[in-house]
Structure formats: structure tokens, C-alpha cells
Chain A
Amino acid sequence: MSANPASRWGLRVLGLGYLTMLLLIPLVMIFFKTFEEGIGPPIDAITSPDGLHALKLTLLMVAIAVPLNTIFGVACALLLVRHKSKANGVIDAIINLPFAVSPIVIGLSLFLLYGTDGWLGFLADNGIKILFSVPGMVLASIFVSLPFVVRETVPVLQEIGTDQELAASTLGANGWQTFWKITLPSIRWGVAYGVVLTTARVLGEFGAVTIVSGSISGQTQTLPLFVEKQYANFNSPGAYGAALVLALLALITLFAMNLLKRKEDA
């Protein structure tokens, strides 16, 4: 199978050609397209009040959703791995749900739950605004990125076993001491990998956030929503400038993923 040079080259051309046409050229195109009319217009668009607000709001989403899902993810993974229970299978299945559900359906679900006729619609009546404001967008971000840390932490926890943890508690360490000094240092790269994936997902989430936010410029617009709005308003430099910022963040994510993967394997 590998001996025949003709078929080897054929597969290379097919596989790498596919990758080039689908991923590489499009990515390079963003760079060209962004600076087509010089460096000024995209920078003006991103540093416009709406652009800056979108960037800040995106970072706010990350600042809230990522820590929450990280704490939940590690705690949940500890329970699932270190404690055998019949509930584990059900919890595991629910954790996978956000991967299976369309982002649009996720947005719709929050829209219905917190809408005026929704089960939690009374919150809005009492002045707690969820929809078309930041809390709803945060909830959407948490929903879509919920599984990553759990998924990445569970296998690492299984791998390290309990020997060291047991030794620590035999020597008198309490639960928290064991966790900070033994468990967390052993699983840190797995957790970090999950955090990177969570961050990337929150940064780029579009579908779920678009439904709950209303995409109001300068108020409830994250960077991905800003890209869409700029494009719809025929402001190409704005759309491409913001898209380039997101693409650069994606490349950093990709780099971090590979770095952490290597640490984890080492």
C-alpha cells in the first residue's frame, strides 16, 4: 500500500489539495482582503466605538463563562471519575448535549425560557433583564461551551489513578490540600486544554448569541455579531478587520492546543 510511489503522490495531491482549497487559501484570503484598501479602514472599523464595544463584550463573555465552566468542569469530572454512581451515566449524557444541539436551538431555548411568556419570564417583569442584554448572552455562552473542560479532564483523572491522593490523605491532608497539591498539578494540562477549547468556543459563538442578543450595535454585539452586521451594512473593511482579529485569536488557540497536547503527552 505504501510502496507504490504513484499512489502515494496521488493521495498527497488529493489530501493536501483538499486541505489547501478548503482551509488554507480561505485563511490567507482574509489577510489580503482586510488590507486591500490599506491598513487604515480595518483599523478605523475595529477602533470605532461599536467595534471596541464588541471586542470588550466578547472578552466579558470569556471572563464570565470560562471560569464558571472550568470550576464546574473540574468538580464534575472529579465526581464522575472518583465516585461511582448510577447517576453518572445520565450526567455524562447531559454534558454531551450542547455538542449535539444546534446553536440556533440553544438560542431559541433561552429565548423561550426567559421570554415574556416563558417559565422564567417573571424575571423580566421584575426588572431583571435577561434577553437582549448581557445576562442572556452569558447564559448562551455557558451553554454552548459547557462540555469541554469536563471532557478533557475525565480521561486525565482516570489515568492518574488515586494512589497519590490516597497517600496524601493517609498522611493527614484534607480534601482541599490533596486537591491543590496532588490532583490539580497532575491534571493541569488536561484542564488547560479544556480551557483553551472553551475560550475559543465562547469567542466565536454566533448562532446562540444572535438569537438572545438582538445584536444591537454598541450594546449587545459581540465580535462575531459585529462581523455579520458590518457585512450586512456593506462595510467590508469593518467586517474583514473584525474577522481578522477573530482569525488571529483562532490561530493563537490552535497554537496553544498543539503546545498543550505535547505537554499532556510528555
Chain B
Amino acid sequence: MEAGTLTRSRAPRAGLRLPGLGVGSGYGVVVLYLSLIVLLPLAAVGSEAFAGGLGTFWDQVTSPLAVKSLKLTVVCSLIVVVINAIFGTILAWLLVRDDFPGKGAVNAVIDLPFALPTIVASLTLLTLYGNDSPLGIHLAATRAAVVVALMFVTLPFVVRAVQPLLLEMDREMEAAAASLGAGSFTIFRRIIFPNLLPGLAAGVALAFARALGEFGSVLLFAGGLPDTTVTSVFIRNQVESGNDVGASAVSVVLLVASLLLLGAVSLIQRWAVRHDRSSSEFIPTLAKDVGDHGGGA
């Protein structure tokens, strides 16, 4: 493996033949595909948002209903990431440090929200916490429903970001602290938590980005009442009523917010690598968090 790394760093491109048409046309195809599939459509949204000029854009974004939906979405997303930061860390701890029957199954089930279609998630939550709730908990069409739906879809992010860090953490530090008389809370606050922080922050940022744009899981459960219209539902409503400019303007706000969050994730990643919090590949990048680190099962 060491030899492999050395060879790679010298990168003898001349000897390595890539399959296909060669590097130049390879880049051409990749750029063309990305442009057609991703960039051109997104550019169309940007262009439409500013089609009526900056003033129209601003009017659309600051219209009372748009502001209301943005506020609701941001507040609910914040609540959700705080809840999932706590429970995600607890679950990661259980999966790495604890031992109980069925741990492997629990570890697998964490990824369910990534695999289950969002509309199915919405329907199931509605069944359990809707008007016919067998538990007698009625949340349908309330703001609480928005929170629960977002809790469901963002559950795996923090678990999968914290789990590998916990797995690789040196337990001698904790043992040393304990031998010096530190209680478990002190050990958590002074030793475990600071080590988990980069993963936790990355997981929270990813969960937040996902929550801001979530649509399917909120739709049936929270409904589209004036008080439960999240931003994505608002955009859908604008499209349906023919207000493309308004839909695009609010979309641009969402787009910028998620880009900033992605930027934050990569900054955290770089910071953590520089401070060598752990091995190189510890913060799952966007897709890597999808059940990538099957901890200790």
C-alpha cells in the first residue's frame, strides 16, 4: 500500500492508459453531460428569477407568503437539526460503544430514511400521527408535523457523520481522564465532544440543507395549509398558479442557502483534516454518509 501511494504521487500518466477516447474528450463529455443535466436547467431558474429585474425579484422574495414560508422552513429546520444532533449522537454512541442484541439491525435501519421514498414516509407518519392515530397523537396539518417529517428524513445524517469519529477515537484519553478523577459528564464535555465536533457540525449542515428543500415527506403529513406551507410547497404552489418568476425568486434563495451550507461542510472538512482530528476519510461527503460507515456491528 505504501508503494502504491508513492507510485501514485509520481503519477506517471504516460504509462497509464485510460479507456475510451482519451482525457481531452473525456472532460468534454463530462462537462457536456453536467451542463445539459444540471447547469443549464439551474441557469434557467436564475434567469427567470431576475427576468423582471432586481426590484421584481426582491418584491417576490419579500412577499408576505414567501417570507412566512421561509421563516417556517428555517425555524422548523433549526429545531430539527438540534433534535437530531442530540439523538444522532446518542444513536452513534449506542452503535459504537454499547452492545445489545439486534445492534446490527439497528445499524441497518438508520439508513431507512435514505431508502424509503419520501411520499411513503409522509403517508406512514400520517398513519401513525394523523387523525386516525392509534396512539391518540394528532399532529396532521400542524407545524409539529413539519418538524416530525423533517426529523424522519434527516435522521441518518448526524449518526453517519459522528459514528466513524467515535469508532476511531482513542480511548486512552478517556481512561487517562477517568484515572485523574474526571466524572463521565466532564469526560464527555472535555474529551469526547470536542473530538466529535467536526463530524457533528458537518452532519448538522447536511441535515439542515436537506431540511430546507424537503418536499415529499412534508406534503401529505403537514399539508399545504397557510400555516404549514414550507418553502418547497410554496414554490410548487407558485408554479401551479402560473407565477414562474415568484417560484424562481424563492428558489434562488433556497439555492444560495444550500450552496452556503455545502461550502460550510467543505470548510469544516478542510479544517478537520488540517487539525488531523482523525484519519483522512472521516467526514462523509454528501453521498458517503449514506450508510457508509457500518460501525462495529
Contacts and interface: CB of A to CB of B under 8 A. Distances in A.
A113 interface: yes
Interface string B92-118: 011001101000001011111111111
Interface in A147-188: 147-148, 151-152, 155, 160-163, 165-166, 169-170, 173-176, 178-180
Question: How large, as a class, is the contact surface on chain A?
Answer: 35 or more
B180 interface: no
Contacts of A210: 236
Question: How large, as a class, is the contact surface on chain B?
Answer: 35 or more
A151 B286 contact: yes
A110 interface: yes
A100 interface: yes
B116 A204 contact: yes
Contacts of B209: 99-100
Nearest to B35: A94
Contacts of B114: 197, 200
Contacts of B19: 78, 175-176, 178-180
Interface stretch (B55-63, B195-203, B253-261, B270-278): B253-261
Given A23-B109, A30-B127, A72-B30, A8 B98 contact: yes
Contacts of B290: 148, 197, 257
A82 interface: yes
A27 interface: yes
A56 interface: no
A19 interface: yes
B131 interface: no
A227 B119 contact: yes
Interface of A: 1-4, 7-8, 11-12, 14-16, 18-19, 22-27, 29-30, 33, 72, 75-76, 78-79, 82-85, 87, 91, 93-106, 108-113, 115, 118-120, 139, 142-143, 146-148, 151-152, 155, 160-163, 165-166, 169-170, 173-176, 178-180, 194, 197, 200, 203-207, 210-211, 223-224, 227-228, 231, 239-240, 243, 246-247, 250-251, 253-255, 257-258, 261-262, 265
Interface of B: 1, 3-5, 7-8, 11-13, 15-20, 23, 26-27, 29-31, 33-34, 37-42, 44-45, 47-48, 87, 90-91, 93-94, 97-98, 100, 106, 108-121, 123-125, 127-128, 134, 148, 151-152, 155, 174, 184, 187-188, 192, 209, 212-216, 219-220, 231-233, 235-236, 239, 244, 247-248, 251, 254-255, 258-259, 261-262, 281, 285-288, 290-292, 294
